[in-house]
Structure 1
């Protein structure tokens, strides 16, 4: 007997979800299989899972990239060694694989991918345009990158997630993601939101909008994406820009008109993220954990 046809809405959801997954994570054969019975670094009820399973991470990731362009030495390593211009989706897939594996993977998988990233960092060094030398193993630069990511992921989750996390859970998230930062070489990562804010403020005197900054931001404004992905990307980019500190928007020449964030940017981004969340469904690691509990 032939199976009944799927409802049209379900077919639309599956097709949309498949397209989004391939854009963010690559083809199905590149997607990780999560083992719910394995020894994980972070449990399903952890703050890391609460933040990193939310599609708002997309906004947080863009915000972090924009902030990171303001540190000349951190950016020099990206400009001189990264493939972000020639293979932006590949870089996105690799970044997603790192975040996913360190969040949802086993301790062994997490340690393995951290070791791979550290080996790459060991080869990233050189001289910035201003003549200063840099190294991706520099704990000071690692701290900057770590703090911009932790702050951006958390702020995006609090603004665009289904429900804001309680302050205690948000502090726990900072401590938990600090475990990954420490494994990468960050010395004494912040353990709560207050410490995170203090660390970020301490970098203000080092930030500059350089030629590399302007070139990288121009690329981020209009990256070489498929036509269908450009309108939603523009919405996410607008949301990320609106979440930047005012000083960063001024330095990056990314103004946000008064009232635009409340009246246009946030409603559009919220609607888009809700639609993406509906199409994607739960993260595969969440589905695997739920299935294991049901057995």
Structure 2
């Protein structure tokens, strides 16, 4: 393996600029709220995942996969994609309305998950205050077609600009609805089980305090950042003041996260990628 390989994107990409933002923790949660509104996508998760009993483990695995595709070498990113495609190829689920069996790696489902993720990442970063031009936003969507190819999608069938993403959302909205599984998942995302080390104080009769309230603040911000049409599906959350309050909240959260020392908010994959980039620049 080329130890100086800069991967699918590299330090000059819009992708690196966006994904260096720790505020993307909110974006990831926003994308999950969106994904839950697609009945088949939600059925696929509910019928093939242990997310309720291993929520934090699944979150870590998903974050590691995304970080590998963004910051890993080309070989590491392609290997992660092969593992995911192999896993998806074995999975099936039943449509909750028609009873039809379908494949988890159906391109329509993969495309929905991809678009909700990348749109959540770039829109959240921008609303949080990251300076991005319209051309850079389009560049991000175009670059992320490489990530879409890793899961088995034809890049030509994936929206590659902001206009194409908006058109995709317009076309798919008639398929989206609030199902019982979507409602249960949204509730779970808003108040998930607390990791053991944080839940121990409760068992000892102590007040949990900051961890739970901090997470509730993140979840509330993620919900408020949803498009108005998605908020309406979740019960009319799209109030006139929601967009402004969401922007203020996510900007304040970004400032708070920026105060955390880099060694705590930059994972090992990003650190290794920066080291490879430094060696390549020196050479």
Q: TM-score range by the shorter chain?
A: 0.7 to 0.9
4+ residue segments displaced more than 4 Å: none
Give the equivalent residue in structure 2 for 1:201: 170
Length-normalised TM-score, structure 1: 0.81
5+ unaligned residues in a row in structure 1: which ranges?
1-34
Give the equivalent residue in structure 1 for 2:77: 110
Give the whole-Å Cα distance in 2 for the aligned partners of 1:36 and 1:165.
31
Length-normalised TM-score, structure 2: 0.84
Kindly report which structure 2 residues correspond to 1:1-295, keeping only aligned pairs within 5 A, or say none. Answer: 37-130=4-97, 131-161=99-129, 163-187=130-154, 188-225=157-194, 226=198, 227=208, 228-253=210-235, 255=237, 257-263=239-245, 265-281=246-262, 283=266, 284-285=271-272, 287-288=274-275, 291-292=278-279, 293=281
Structure 1 residues 231 and 289: alpha-carbon distance in aligned structure 2, compared to 1, 3 A threshold: farther
SS of structure 2 residue aligned to 1:190: coil
Once superposed, what is the RMSD of the aligned Cα atoms?
2.1
Matched positions, count: 259
Give yes or no for contact 1:72–1:207 (8 Å, CA) kept in 2.
yes
Give the whole-Å Cα distance in 1 for the aligned partners of 2:240 and 2:261.
33
Cα displacement string for residues 151-199 of structure 1 (whole angstroms, at most 9, x for unaligned residues): 11110011114x3211111111101111111221223211111111111
Shift of residue 122 of structure 1? 1.2
SS of structure 1 residue aligned to 2:144: helix
Give the equivalent residue in structure 2 for 1:16: none
Shift of residue 231 of structure 1? 1.8
Give the whole-Å Cα distance in 2 for the aligned partners of 1:191 and 1:244.
20
Give the equivalent residue in structure 1 for 2:201: none
Give the whole-Å Cα distance in 1 for the aligned partners of 2:147 and 2:242.
36
